[in-house]
Amino acid sequence: MILWAHDLGILFIALSDCKGELLFQTSYYLGSFLTLKTEINNKLKTDKRVLTITPQSDTVYRCNIGVSGELSELIIHYHDINYGLSDMCKVAQKVCLHSERVSSTVIQNASNLPNMELTVHFGNYTNLSGVFPWQCRSSEFLSIRSHWRIQ
């Protein structure tokens, strides 16, 4: 299975076997959610808000957004561009082996993946940065000044 994505001006190609094992990839995207903390804080300062980000692991961050002394907590699961590749291969296997005509119900039953409550996306989009359609029911977008002109 070949996954190709061109988003935020970044080329990404991944080749995996039928088990979802990554055989080859090329990517020019090396980023971390923590590097965006300053830009996010600058954006929030205009609204008198404060954001603190505490890493819980390599991919999970606990965020507290304070407004007028009140704190709202948000847990962010930051995934790299390979996230979901093995899940996508498993779904493709199940759908290909299914004897019925392919429908959204067949795909939904084969995937059995949870829906995200929020997707944070930077810049113009042609896809949802590796978020597959069955993983996201609705998305909200936050624009960061440094990413406005990315094509």
Shared domain check, 69 and 92: no
Shared domain check, 123 and 65: no
4 domain residue, yes or no: no
pLDDT of residue 83: 57
pLDDT of residue 140: 42
Q: How confident is the model over 119-124, as a mean pLDDT?
A: 49
pLDDT of residue 120: 53
pLDDT digits (tens, 9 = 90+) for 78-115: 555 555 666 677 777 777 777 778 777 777 777 765 55
Domain that holds residue 137: 81-151
Shared domain check, 150 and 104: yes
pLDDT of residue 108: 72
pLDDT of residue 47: 54
Q: Are 27 and 15 in contact (CB under 8 A)?
A: no
Q: What percent of the chain has pLDDT over 70?
A: 15
- Answer yes or no: is pLDDT of 67 > 70: no
16 domain residue, yes or no: no
Q: Which stretches does DSSP call E strand in the chain?
A: 2-7, 10-16, 22-27, 49-55, 60-67, 70-77
Q: Give the span between the Cα atoms of 9 and 125, in whole angstroms.
A: 10
pLDDT digits (tens, 9 = 90+) for 128-144: 455 554 444 444 444 45
Shared domain check, 58 and 123: no
Question: Token match 């990839």: residue?
Answer: 25
150 domain residue, yes or no: yes
Shared domain check, 110 and 60: no
Shared domain check, 90 and 126: yes
Shared domain check, 86 and 44: no
Mean pLDDT (the chain) is 57
**Bridge partners of residue 54, in order along the sequence:** 62
pTM: 0.31
52 domain residue, yes or no: yes
Cβ neighbours of 16 (radius 10 Å): 20
Shared domain check, 107 and 42: no
